[in-house]
Structure 1
Amino acid sequence: MKRRELARYERELGFVPTRAVRWLDPPELARTAAKAALAKVFADYGDKREIQSVLPGGPVDLPHAGPGIWVDFTADTGDGFAPTFSVASVLARPELTIEGADAGPLTLPRGDVLVLGGDEVYPAASARAYENRTLGPYRAAFPTEPAATAPALLAVPGNHDWYDGLTSFLRVFARGARIGGWRTVQTRSYFVARLAPGWWLVGLDSQLGEYIDEPQLAYFRRELTAHLEPGDGVVVCTASPGWVHTVTKGPDGFNQLHFFERTIIRTRPVPGAGDGETEPTGAAVRLWLTGDLHHYSRYGQVQPGASGDDPRAVQAITCGLGGAYLAQTHDLPEELELPPARSRMRSKDVPGMPMRRRGALYPDAARSRRLFRRVANPFCATWLGWRNLAFLVGMGWVQLALIAALAGIVDLVRPRQGINAILDTPPTEAVRILGILLAALALVLLAHAALARWWGVPGVVASLGAFFLISAACVTLLALVVVIPPWPAVARLAVTVVVAWWLGALLGTVAFGLFLLTQRTGTVASWRMSAQAMDACKGFLRMTIRSDGALIVYPIGIDEPRREWDLEAAPGGLRPALRGGLPRTHLIEPPIVIAQKGFPAP
């Protein structure tokens, strides 16, 4: 059965299977924007991390620690039911056979620990959203096994978890509750766990990119820094890829993570010494893990004289494949420096670490280019208008208003009767008039862009968007000149309004999609993929620590989630089951080997 049919069994299932968020539907966009703004205000004046010091502390207790431990990592869960439930079902399988290994199919055991790397629910955190979009699917995918040891579940909050001030996140993940067969074990929104001798797992609450609060820093100094020994390796889970942000958002994008690495992991205060005196711990971050960008990519440390994938290299992996809409990969930077030369942190530490993109992208760059262009193609099922019907409807009214305004402007030049000022104009003359109007608007836009470059005048993106929409209205007007016959006035006006609305909705939405393709970075640019709500290319990381102390990372991809389900009996009701069994899984790239010790310090 399809999702809508499955949703009729809400009472028996205990949750409502939801469709993927339609990010550009005007009501959804407005609600999410309002919650994001409120979260920012509350974060500035009422940081909930400040009061977590009263909660129980200490490192988290894992059911199994030591060489041979298995850890799963996924992020950006809780969007559409189909991808979320498919990923959860694969994670829950006691053993998973995957394709793509050099020696043939590879069988890996289920993780002893599952780490959710941020944004555990969309579009904004609430008790109901967590229940329907995350907890319900995960419980259904992995029912409780009373006789078995429950794998531990850890989570770091992302920006969407912060949209209710972190209230729901703490209630879900910090109370020791069971989520199906998994058991939550953390007591705060951040954590430390010892995976094996010489290996530590850290979950950092970066709180919308702000400074790390003092209670959190005190926790890490007490539970991590004080116990680090020379040669220890640390895996840090954070809610956003600060290393990529150094290129896309500015040179200070990595500052928070660099500060954490420098003051918590690489150095510690000298006991009994004065303020500010530190000593090296001998430990280092060996792997940075995050989601937030809904794709798979990896950056590795560049060291002169070392091979491309030397086990001693620091790795930074983005794996936001837990269920949210697919994001592009083709515009990722090829090289990074951490921290960059222009960063405010650069003067406080050793020279920056060069990083280069390594391994495979998922989706690959060629597919990414094809997919992101579909936002402006009405012949694709994921077109902006088909995925966001409320946006399409609203665009019809916007275009109708623009057409009326253009008709009024033309009427000032060639007095007639409203819209007849254009409809009675010969097509060649209409092209000339509207061409002059568009040329004038283009000159205004160029002047605006020049002012923005020289004096920082804002709003160029909005002006460019308006130009695209007005251009669509002009094309619609020209079409009306050609297709509307010279009927009686009332009939002509009625047909004109209907045709203008429908054609304006189509052309206006296409124009907006083309406008999105002109944007390179920023929130508006991210709409190119979020507007399409594509649920392909999902997956997670499965990691283990070998007996020789090396960390092995298996990036696992799921090309297509299951979109049809059956119902089967479960204690207390029913549960969905994937029709056709588990989706096909494969290695995104060969396993990544990370040695416990890195390159010698410069």
Structure 2
Amino acid sequence: MKRRELLALESVLGFAPAGMTRWLDPPALARTAIKAGMAKVFADYGDKREVQAVLPSGPAPLASPVEGDVWIDFAADLGDGFDATTTIATLLGAPTLFVDTPGGNDLELPRGDVLVLGGDEVYPAASARAYENRTIGPYATAFPAEPGIPRPTMLAVPGNHDWYDGLTSFLRVFARGARIGGWQTTQTRSYFVVAVAPGWWLVGLDSQLGEYIDEPQLDYFREHLTAHLQPGDGVIVCTAAPAWVHTASKGPDGFNQLHFFDRTIVRNREGAAGTEPTGAAIRLWLTGDQHHYSRYVQLGPDGEPDEAYGIQAITCGLGGAYLAETHRLPETLELPPATSRMRTKDVPGMPMRRVGPTYPDAATSRRLYRRVANPLSRWWLGWRNPGLLVGIGWVQFVLAWLLGAVVGLVQPAPDSIGAVLRGPVPTTASALALVVAIALGSWLLHWLTSVLFGWGGVVATRAIVFQLVAGCLTLLALVGLLLAARSLGMPPLPGIVLLGVAAIGSWGIGALLGTAMFGLFLLTQPSGTVASWRMSAQAIADHKGFLRMRLQPNGSIEIHAIVVDRICTDWATTTAPDGALRVVPATRITGVRLLDGPITVTRNRGATSDTGKAPA
């Protein structure tokens, strides 16, 4: 059965299987924008991370003891449509996962002992109901608790969407020791540290909408991480956004907070004699936020990526939300950049290069993002976001009639289109009213986009110009249709009928032309929030994935980047061990394949200097 059929079972399932978020649906967009603005305001005046200092402190324990290899799963950006989210949850919860490899042999990978959710556990904004429908329900039905089965540990870091209710729902879901299906949560705060294996530490940071790391959080890590680090220890850091890429897309200071954490918490500690090196090093940065897969590796002395001993930075935001583009990713990075405003930083910064495949690959990324402006494609933003189509129709209706008032084309005619065309020249008052309306509308759009979405004046102006062009085209098309009908011998229409035809036509034509022009406008954006709408508007549910990692007794970590090109959309119901109704794939999920790896990262790189570089 399909997701819509499962909605009829909501009262039995205990949650409502949700569809993919339609990001450009005006009401949803407005609600999310308002929550985002409020979250930012309240974050400035009431940092909930500081309040967490009163919560129990301590490393997050493993829910079940682990012997030998430790398997860690990482999935991010997951709480969106039921089909995509539950497909990934089903693969994560399977006792054994069979993965196709380029060589044709299946990999048999066991279920992870630890599952890390890497941010944005719910969309479009956090709330108790949203978590139930989009995260807890799908994960609980994919992997129900069974007596006698070891409970994998579930840990989570909050992303920006988790912060949109001030982190209230996130803490209730992940910081109270609750069980989510067969997984057990163990953290007590929105950040955590876990000693996952001898010499290996797993860390989750709460960056709260890109703000500075708060002092209670730093104290927590100084007490439970820094104080216990030994020379040669390796640290895996999970963060909510790819700050390394932000240095190229959002400014040179994007990596400052992570670099500060690296220098002051991992590589150095304050001792009786002052600052002393710990000898430990971050070996792996993990994040989501960008809904694709990419990997950067530190360059070695020879100028080539050092796969074994270099720091790896991996973005894997394929847990359930829309697919994002990859063809604009930078090839090289310097962390932190020389132009960073940090007072104390590594000079020169750590050089990194993008290696391995991206998902989607660059050619597929270019092909996919252009579809948003193609009305002949089912992925056109108008078809994928009907609310946007309707909303732009009303915008164009008003705009076309205002423009028509200036040129005298939409004044009610008593008998025919000819009379409309011969209407009186607009008065100075009507022309002035149009100028004032456009000026006020431009200012309002500029203000709203700047406050809610961070648009600049150039972007807002460009959006207005595209819509004005669409209004002119709408008006010309409407007049052309009326003239064509008259030339074909259509009898004169009463004025009120002609007015109604013009009203309906301006709305319908305007909806199509205005939405088409908005799609073209999106293609003109090089980067930023508006540029991301090219992919979010399509709500692509396919092309999902996660990381499965193995910590081996020899101290190295082996990383498998796993993707599934087609998600499951056909479901069946069965009974879980506790008697509850459970949703399972109607047929086995196929096409699960290894995208990248196995990638081996060695822990014992020796004591490190203050620059974070391995000694020669």
TM-score by length of 1: 0.91
Instruction: Indicate if the aligned counterparts of 1:85 and 1:141 stay in contact, CA closer than 8 A.
Output: yes
- Quick one: percent identity of the two aligned structures? 61
Worse overlay, 101-110 or 368-377: 101-110
Compared with structure 1, are the counterparts of its residues 49 and 347 closer, same or farther at alpha carbon in structure 2 (3 Å cutoff)?
Answer: closer
Corresponding residue SS for 1:325: coil
Aligned to 1:430: none
Query: Aligned ranges for residues 123-138 of structure 1 at < 5 Å?
Result: 123-138=124-139
Matched, 1:573 2:580: yes
Deviation at 1:423, TM superposition (A): 6.6
Deviation at 1:572, TM superposition (A): 3.9
Corresponding residue SS for 1:367: helix
Give, in whole Å, the separation in 1 of the partners of 2:167 and 2:476. Answer: 52
Aligned to 1:538: 544
Residue deviations 1:38-84, cap 9 Å, x none? 11111111111112122111111112456510000000011000000
Corresponding residue SS for 1:209: coil
Residue deviations 1:494-533, cap 9 Å, x none? 2222122111101100100110111112211111111111
Corresponding residue SS for 1:361: coil
Corresponding residue SS for 2:355: strand
Aligned to 1:41: 41
Matched, 1:317 2:318: no
Aligned to 2:473: 475
Corresponding residue SS for 2:294: strand
Deviation at 1:410, TM superposition (A): 1.8
Residue deviations 1:122-171, cap 9 Å, x none? 11111110001000000000010111110000000011111111111111
Give, in whole Å, the separation in 2 of the partners of 1:230 and 1:423. Answer: 85
Aligned to 1:370: 367
Instruction: Indicate if the aligned counterparts of 2:292 and 2:323 stay in contact, CA closer than 8 A.
Output: yes
Corresponding residue SS for 1:134: helix
Worse overlay, 403-412 or 86-95: 403-412
Corresponding residue SS for 1:234: strand
Worse overlay, 343-352 or 501-510: 343-352
Give, in whole Å, the separation in 1 of the partners of 2:413 and 2:332. Answer: 61
Matched, 1:586 2:586: no
Deviation at 1:479, TM superposition (A): 1.7
Match among 334, 341, 344 for residue 338 of structure 2: 341
Deviation at 1:569, TM superposition (A): 2.3
The aligned amino acid for 2:481 is V
The aligned amino acid for 1:162 is W
Corresponding residue SS for 1:73: strand
CA RMSD across the alignment: 2.3
Residue deviations 1:515-555, cap 9 Å, x none? 01111122111111111111111010000112221111000
Matched, 1:461 2:459: yes
Give, in whole Å, the separation in 1 of the partners of 2:419 and 2:89. Answer: 58
Instruction: Indicate if the aligned counterparts of 2:411 and 2:420 stay in contact, CA closer than 8 A.
Output: no
The aligned amino acid for 2:12 is E
Give, in whole Å, the separation in 1 of the partners of 2:207 and 2:374. Answer: 37
Instruction: Indicate if the aligned counterparts of 1:66 and 1:196 stay in contact, CA closer than 8 A.
Output: no
Instruction: Indicate if the aligned counterparts of 2:412 and 2:420 stay in contact, CA closer than 8 A.
Output: no
Give, in whole Å, the separation in 1 of the partners of 2:419 and 2:593. Answer: 59
Instruction: Indicate if the aligned counterparts of 1:407 and 1:422 stay in contact, CA closer than 8 A.
Output: no
The aligned amino acid for 2:307 is D
Give, in whole Å, the separation in 1 of the partners of 2:596 and 2:157. Answer: 26
Give, in whole Å, the separation in 1 of the partners of 2:337 and 2:418. Answer: 59
Aligned to 2:426: none
Corresponding residue SS for 1:169: helix
Residue segments in structure 1 that go unaligned for 5+ positions in a row: 426-436, 450-456
Query: Aligned ranges for residues 265-304 of structure 1 at < 5 Å?
Result: 265-271=266-272, 273=273, 277-304=274-301
Aligned to 1:498: 504
Give, in whole Å, the separation in 2 of the partners of 1:601 and 1:136. Answer: 49
Instruction: Indicate if the aligned counterparts of 2:305 and 2:353 stay in contact, CA closer than 8 A.
Output: no
Query: Aligned ranges for residues 23-38 of structure 1 at < 5 Å?
Result: 23-38=23-38
Deviation at 1:564, TM superposition (A): 1.4
Instruction: Indicate if the aligned counterparts of 2:203 and 2:237 stay in contact, CA closer than 8 A.
Output: yes
Deviation at 1:270, TM superposition (A): 1.8
Compared with structure 1, are the counterparts of its residues 544 and 561 closer, same or farther at alpha carbon in structure 2 (3 Å cutoff)?
Answer: same
Give, in whole Å, the separation in 2 of the partners of 1:420 and 1:246. Answer: 58
Compared with structure 1, are the counterparts of its residues 72 and 479 closer, same or farther at alpha carbon in structure 2 (3 Å cutoff)?
Answer: same
The aligned amino acid for 1:587 is L
Aligned to 2:532: 526
Compared with structure 1, are the counterparts of its residues 422 and 49 closer, same or farther at alpha carbon in structure 2 (3 Å cutoff)?
Answer: farther
Give, in whole Å, the separation in 1 of the partners of 2:419 and 2:74. Answer: 60
Compared with structure 1, are the counterparts of its residues 553 and 54 closer, same or farther at alpha carbon in structure 2 (3 Å cutoff)?
Answer: same
Give, in whole Å, the separation in 1 of the partners of 2:561 and 2:550. Answer: 12
Give, in whole Å, the separation in 1 of the partners of 2:303 and 2:247. Answer: 25
Corresponding residue SS for 1:289: strand
Instruction: Indicate if the aligned counterparts of 1:235 and 1:285 stay in contact, CA closer than 8 A.
Output: yes
Residue deviations 1:337-360, cap 9 Å, x none? 100011012753332011111100
Worse overlay, 129-138 or 514-523: 514-523
Corresponding residue SS for 1:100: coil
The aligned amino acid for 2:585 is L
The aligned amino acid for 1:466 is I
Compared with structure 1, are the counterparts of its residues 196 and 101 closer, same or farther at alpha carbon in structure 2 (3 Å cutoff)?
Answer: farther
Instruction: Indicate if the aligned counterparts of 1:339 and 1:346 stay in contact, CA closer than 8 A.
Output: no
Deviation at 1:89, TM superposition (A): 0.2
Matched, 1:68 2:93: no
Give, in whole Å, the separation in 1 of the partners of 2:411 and 2:122. Answer: 56
Aligned to 2:451: none
Give, in whole Å, the separation in 1 of the partners of 2:508 and 2:65. Answer: 61
Worse overlay, 491-500 or 393-402: 491-500
How many residue pairs align between the two structures? 570
Instruction: Indicate if the aligned counterparts of 1:24 and 1:391 stay in contact, CA closer than 8 A.
Output: yes
Deviation at 1:28, TM superposition (A): 0.4
Give, in whole Å, the separation in 2 of the partners of 1:540 and 1:173. Answer: 20
Corresponding residue SS for 2:145: coil
Aligned to 1:14: 14
Corresponding residue SS for 1:268: strand
Give, in whole Å, the separation in 2 of the partners of 1:556 and 1:213. Answer: 34
Instruction: Indicate if the aligned counterparts of 1:410 and 1:422 stay in contact, CA closer than 8 A.
Output: no
Matched, 1:397 2:398: no
Residue deviations 1:346-394, cap 9 Å, x none? 7533320111111000011111111111111122222111111111111
Corresponding residue SS for 1:539: strand
Instruction: Indicate if the aligned counterparts of 1:415 and 1:421 stay in contact, CA closer than 8 A.
Output: no
Matched, 1:379 2:376: yes
The aligned amino acid for 1:461 is V
Matched, 1:357 2:354: yes
Aligned to 2:427: none
Residue segments in structure 2 that go unaligned for 5+ positions in a row: 423-433, 447-454, 487-491, 606-612
TM-score by length of 2: 0.89
Match among 323, 328, 332 for residue 331 of structure 1: 328
Instruction: Indicate if the aligned counterparts of 1:346 and 1:352 stay in contact, CA closer than 8 A.
Output: no
Instruction: Indicate if the aligned counterparts of 2:405 and 2:411 stay in contact, CA closer than 8 A.
Output: no
Instruction: Indicate if the aligned counterparts of 2:412 and 2:496 stay in contact, CA closer than 8 A.
Output: no
Corresponding residue SS for 1:97: strand
Compared with structure 1, are the counterparts of its residues 32 and 381 closer, same or farther at alpha carbon in structure 2 (3 Å cutoff)?
Answer: same
The aligned amino acid for 1:113 is V
Give, in whole Å, the separation in 2 of the partners of 1:180 and 1:573. Answer: 11
Corresponding residue SS for 1:8: helix
The aligned amino acid for 2:465 is F
Give, in whole Å, the separation in 2 of the partners of 1:314 and 1:124. Answer: 33
Compared with structure 1, are the counterparts of its residues 103 and 378 closer, same or farther at alpha carbon in structure 2 (3 Å cutoff)?
Answer: closer
Instruction: Indicate if the aligned counterparts of 1:122 and 1:129 stay in contact, CA closer than 8 A.
Output: yes
Compared with structure 1, are the counterparts of its residues 386 and 590 closer, same or farther at alpha carbon in structure 2 (3 Å cutoff)?
Answer: same
Give, in whole Å, the separation in 2 of the partners of 1:44 and 1:421. Answer: 61
Give, in whole Å, the separation in 2 of the partners of 1:347 and 1:421. Answer: 75
Corresponding residue SS for 1:551: strand
Give, in whole Å, the separation in 2 of the partners of 1:388 and 1:348. Answer: 45
Aligned to 2:52: 52
Give, in whole Å, the separation in 2 of the partners of 1:416 and 1:44. Answer: 54
Give, in whole Å, the separation in 2 of the partners of 1:202 and 1:474. Answer: 56
Worse overlay, 377-386 or 490-499: 490-499
Query: Aligned ranges for residues 143-162 of structure 1 at < 5 Å?
Result: 143-162=144-163
Query: Aligned ranges for residues 90-101 of structure 1 at < 5 Å?
Result: 90-101=91-102
